[in-house]
Amino acid sequence: MLSVVTLGFYRFWMKTRLRRHFWSAVRPDGTPLEYVGKGIEKFTGFLIALVVLAFLIGVLALVLVYASYAVFQGELEAYLVAALIAVPLIYFASYRAKRYVYARTRWRGIRFGLEPAAGKYTLHAMGHLLLTVLTLGFLWPRMTFKLEKFRTDRTFFGDQRLHQGGRWWGLAKSFLPTLVCIWLGLGLIGRVAFLEAGPQATDSGFFSPSEQMQSLAFVPVLLLLGVFLYLRYRVVALRYLANHKTAGGVGLISRLSFPRVLWINIAGYTLTNICTAIATFVVGAAASAVLVAVYPGLADFGIFASGAVTEGTGISEEGMPSAGVSLAFGLFLYMTTLLFFAVFRQTFVLFPTWRHYAQTLSLTGGEHLADIRQRDRDHAGQAEGMAEAFDLGAAI
Strand order across the beta sheet in which 361-364 lies: 163-164, 245-247, 250-254, 361-364
What per-residue confidence (pLDDT) applies to 316? 55
pLDDT in tens, 168-212: 999 999 999 999 998 988 888 777 766 666 555 545 444 555 656
pLDDT at 187: 83
Q: Is pLDDT of 146 > 90?
A: yes
- What is the spatial distance between Cα 362 and Cα 385, in angstroms, rounded to a whole number? 33
| Cβ atoms within 10 Å of 295's Cβ, excluding its own | 19
| DSSP codes of every residue in 287-323 | HHHHHHHH-GGGGGGGGGHHHHHHTTTTTTSTTS--H
pLDDT exceeds cutoff 50 at 336: yes
Question: What does the pLDDT average to over 300-315?
Answer: 66
Which of 2-6, 189-193, 213-217, 244-248 is predicted most confidently?
Answer: 244-248
Residue 394 has pLDDT above 50, yes or no: no
Residues 6+ apart with CB under 8 A from 292: 298, 299, 301, 302, 305
User: Quick check: 144 pLDDT over 90?
Assistant: yes
Of residues 364, 367, 362, 374, the one with CA closest to residue 160: 374
Strand order in the sheet with 160-161: 33-35, 105-107, 110-114, 155-157, 160-161
pLDDT at 72: 60
Q: Is the pLDDT of residue 94 over 50?
A: yes
Q: Which of 244-248, 277-281, 350-354 has the lowest mean pLDDT?
A: 277-281
Give the pLDDT score at 76. Answer: 64
Predicted pLDDT at 333: 81
pTM of the model: 0.81
What are 36-85's pLDDT values in tens digits? 988 888 888 777 777 666 666 666 666 766 666 666 666 666 666 666 77
Read off the pLDDT band of 328 (50, 70, 90).
confident
* Percent of all residues in the chain with a pLDDT value above 90, rounded to a whole number: 44
- Helix or strand (DSSP H, E) at 252: strand 250-254
More confident residue, 87 or 166: 166
Contacts of 327 (CB under 8 A, 6+ apart): none
Nearest C-alpha neighbor of 302 from the set 319, 278, 284, 277? 284
Average pLDDT, stretch 337-364? 92
Choice between 326 and 221, residue whose per-residue pLDDT is larger:
221
The HSE-up count of residue 231 (CA atoms within 13 Å, CB side) is 15
